Amino acid sequence: MGSTQFAGSNGFGHSMDFMSQAYLRNRSSEIDIEEDSLNMNKDGPLPIFLKFEYVECKVRNSKASSANPVKAVVSKVASRFNLDQDNYKQILKGVTGSVCPGEILALMGPSGSGKTTLLKIIGGRLSENVEGRITIGFVTQDDVLLSQLTVDETLVFAAFLRLPGNMSRQQKHARVGMIIKELGLERCRHTKIGGGFVKGISGGERKGTSIGYEILVDPSLLLLDEPTSGLDSTSANRLLQILQGLAKPSSRMFHMFDKLLLISEGYPLYYGKARESMEYFSDLRFIPEIAMNPAEFLLDLATGQVNDISVPEVLY
């Protein structure tokens, strides 16, 4: 199963990824993004509308040649006669969604359902056998921060590396200062990132620094792969509040997500307003029998664990 801290005291099981349209600068898209929006806007981030439609993706199964020579020979012969369709695995089977500026779309599904694959496709990191592509800002599950630098040094380094040359040194330092404040990183500003044998900042602060690294360039869309994994529920809450604040000011946890895309084995089970998801499934006669957190209920549905859920008669 997935690994986010939502599985902890929040009762959010499995994984959740986010497409937080905080701010973003777009690089390229085959989807509804007009030429104009590709130019840098000096007045701030450009509002971008992200849309992905009927995304399908298949990957070639890894060859068995090294492990099983018989299978390798059969597979080789089959491919010669074009009989190797079985060597492909369909990962995404028609997933559709969109995010407007200022919205948070939560992408939920059991481990292996295709969340990371979808993010990779939208982030332009996977293009073989897929339909849509958009590339912008991407915060991966594993960050790439340097352990010996402090939070401040990390962001200053990134600022000098990534911000336009026509910005002055003072402006770059000011931007770093603003981000540090925005992400609540003042307390650890001069602490080393750490890791391995170097003692450093906390997990939440590390996530915040990674996000700071990305939002430094004022992106119009931010793709976050399990941003709360490894965090305790308080830090996860705080991080979501920060993200929500970056996208737009608003309320709490599950209800912080404007939209929800629930996938199971690459199939979309639900796409729409997060707050209407329970009602949708209750109309279909999927009703929790005990008090359940909405996210837990939805993920149980997606994994097919319906022990505590009453399901429509017809399924029996």
Ligand X SMILES: Nc1ncnc2c1ncn2[C@@H]1O[C@H](COP(=O)(O)OP(=O)(O)OP(=O)(O)O)[C@@H](O)[C@H]1O
Beta-bridge partner residues of 261: 107, 271
Stretch that binds ligand X, among 115-123, 150-158, 164-172, 212-220 (CB under 6 A): 115-123
Q: Rounded to whole angstroms, how far apart are CA atoms 17 and 187?
A: 27
Maximum separation of any 2 CA atoms in the chain, in Å: 68
User: Which residue among 24, 91, 211, 215 contacts ligand X (CB under 6 A)?
Assistant: 91
Burial group, residue 168, by CB count within 10 angstroms (0-12, 13-18, 19+): exposed
Residue 244, both tokens? 């929500």
**Interface with ligand X, residue 115, by CB under 6 A:** yes
**Interface with ligand X, residue 59, by CB under 6 A:** yes
Tell me the C-alpha to C-alpha distance, in Å, between residue 232 and each of 98, 155, 204: 29, 24, 8
**Interface with ligand X, residue 299, by CB under 6 A:** no
**Minimum distance, C-beta of residue 316 to ligand X, in the bound complex (Å):** 29
- Beta-strand pair 137-139/50-60: unpaired
Question: Cβ distance 121 to 57 under 8 Å?
Answer: yes
**Interface with ligand X, residue 204, by CB under 6 A:** no
Among candidates 245, 251, 291, which has minimal Cα distance to 275? 251
**Interface with ligand X, residue 227, by CB under 6 A:** no
**Interface with ligand X, residue 264, by CB under 6 A:** no
**Interface with ligand X, residue 228, by CB under 6 A:** no
Say how many residues touch ligand X, by CB under 6 A. 13
User: Which residue among 71, 76, 89, 169 contacts ligand X (CB under 6 A)?
Assistant: 89
**Minimum distance, C-beta of residue 109 to ligand X, in the bound complex (Å):** 5
**Interface with ligand X, residue 112, by CB under 6 A:** yes
Q: Which residues bind ligand X (CB under 6 A)?
A: 2, 15, 59, 89, 91, 109, 111-117
